[in-house]
């Protein structure tokens, strides 16, 4: 029995040696497991970007060099710069709704009859092929089954110019208008990518720009409060306390550096003056799915 065990040990050693040396005679195909690409981008279903509210929890924490500034003077200079920058991106939008009618029986020519109008805000996010593209709320440009005509005032414009409705989505309450660049040289473009798919930091400073009550290029300051579910939408919205009012709809909500956080859409009538904005990732999904961005 002892001899048998010894012979078995010798056999195992010889077999191991043989297998180790076989690599010069035999080719073995090895299989490696590729590293998965982990992303927080929303899923694509049938060519359309989709998003679930719980996906927000997978976003990364955002940091900025501005957060580390400990000089009041330097920090105030950043705020002033951001305020002026987003003012130059802000636009005022006027929508006129009309229908064509015969002014009296047996008339041969129809005439235009204005049935309504609305005003709101928007901001430039893209310049392409001689046009500025701006984002606003759908309820600012909603034609309501009528014909619609849109005009805008960009920064330092003295007269309104015609704008064209490019895309809209009533469920997202978002729309895109475009207008000719012309000879403007002082319009700025708000960055919609820098804060995309990153969390909004608790109590971080936010700035809202718009045209409330006819006051053009008005900027208010506040804080991000939380993400909230409301009756108006099927997605969570940004809950903040930068004051917005009638006419602010469609205006940009940005961080301390001027990067887009969301699109202001609704105000809450309460002593706390809380407001709601459509998050930047919803805006991005809307732009992609409607072919405005590649």
Residues 185-200: what's their mean pLDDT?
96
Domain end marker among 120, 150, 180: 180
Give the tokens for residue 252: 């940009």
Residue with tokens 């998965």: 36
Residues 156, 199: one domain? no
Distance between CA 71 and CA 256 in Å, rounded? 15
42 has a pLDDT exceeding 50: no
Decide if 23 is inside a domain. no
Output the average pLDDT for the chain: 84
Residues 227, 135: one domain? no
Domain end marker among 152, 180, 208: 180
Between CA 241 and CA 252, with CA 246 as vertex, the angle to 5 degrees is 55
- Residue 270: count of CB within 10 angstroms of its CB: 7
Distance between CA 155 and CA 254 in Å, rounded? 18
Residues 105, 133: one domain? yes
Report pLDDT digits (tens) over 85-98.
Answer: 999 999 999 999 99
- Residue 85: count of CB within 10 angstroms of its CB: 18
109: Cα separation from own chain's centroid: 45
Residues 115, 152: one domain? yes
Residues 121, 266: one domain? no
Decide if 105 is inside a domain. yes
Count how many domains the chain has. Answer: 2
Decide if 70 is inside a domain. yes
Report pLDDT digits (tens) over 96-140.
Answer: 999 988 888 878 888 889 998 889 999 999 999 999 999 999 999
H-assigned helices in the chain: 2-21, 72-89, 138-141, 280-289
Report pLDDT digits (tens) over 54-85.
Answer: 889 899 999 999 999 999 999 999 999 999 99
Residues 84, 96: one domain? no
Residues 132, 254: one domain? no
Domain end marker among 160, 180, 200: 180
Q: What is the pLDDT of residue 268?
A: 63
Dihedral sign, Cα of residue 283, residue 277, residue 90, residue 179: positive
**Which stretch of 24-33, 41-50, 191-200 has the lowest confidence by average pLDDT?**
24-33
Which value, to the nearest 10 degrees, does the dihedral of the CA atoms of residues 203, 212, 268, 258 take?
Answer: -20
CATH number, position 60 = 2.40.10.10
The dihedrals phi and psi of 225, each to the nearest 5 degrees, come to -100, -55
State which residues form the domain around 210: 44-88+188-289
Give the tokens for residue 187: 């319009």
Residues 94, 161: one domain? yes
Residues 242-259: what's their mean pLDDT?
94
């Amino acid at each position: 029995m002892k001899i048998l065990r010894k012979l078995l040990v010798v056999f195992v050693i010889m077999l191991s040696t043989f297998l180790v040396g076989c690599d010069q005679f035999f080719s073995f195909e090895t299989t490696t497991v590729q590293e998965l690409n982990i992303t927080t981008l929303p899923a694509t279903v049938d060519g359309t970007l989709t998003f679930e509210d719980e996906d927000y929890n997978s976003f990364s924490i955002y940091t900025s060099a501005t957060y580390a500034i400990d000089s009041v003077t330097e920090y105030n200079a950043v705020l002033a710069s951001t305020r002026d920058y987003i003012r130059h991106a802000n636009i005022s939008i006027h929508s006129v709704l009309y229908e064509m009618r015969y002014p009296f029986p047996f008339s041969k020519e129809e005439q235009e009859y204005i049935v309504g109008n609305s005003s709101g805000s928007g901001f430039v996010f893209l310049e392409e092929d001689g046009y500025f593209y701006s984002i606003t709320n759908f309820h600012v440009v909603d034609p309501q089954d009528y014909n619609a005509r849109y005009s805008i005032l960009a920064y330092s414009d003295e007269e309104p110019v015609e704008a064209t409705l490019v895309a809209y989505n009533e469920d997202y309450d978002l729309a895109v208008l475009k207008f000719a660049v012309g000879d403007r040289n002082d319009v700025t473009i708000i960055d919609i990518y820098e804060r995309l798919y990153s969390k909004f930091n608790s109590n971080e400073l936010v700035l809202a720009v718009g045209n409330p009550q006819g006051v053009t290029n008005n900027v208010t300051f506040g804080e991000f409060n939380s993400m909230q579910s409301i009756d108006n939408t099927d997605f969570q919205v940004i809950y903040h306390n930068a004051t917005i009012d009638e006419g602010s709809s469609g205006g940009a909500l940005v961080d301390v550096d001027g990067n887009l956080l969301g699109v202001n859409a609704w105000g809450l009538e309460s002593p706390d003056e809380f407001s709601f904005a459509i998050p930047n990732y919803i805006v991005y999904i809307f732009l992609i799915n409607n072919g405005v961005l590649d």
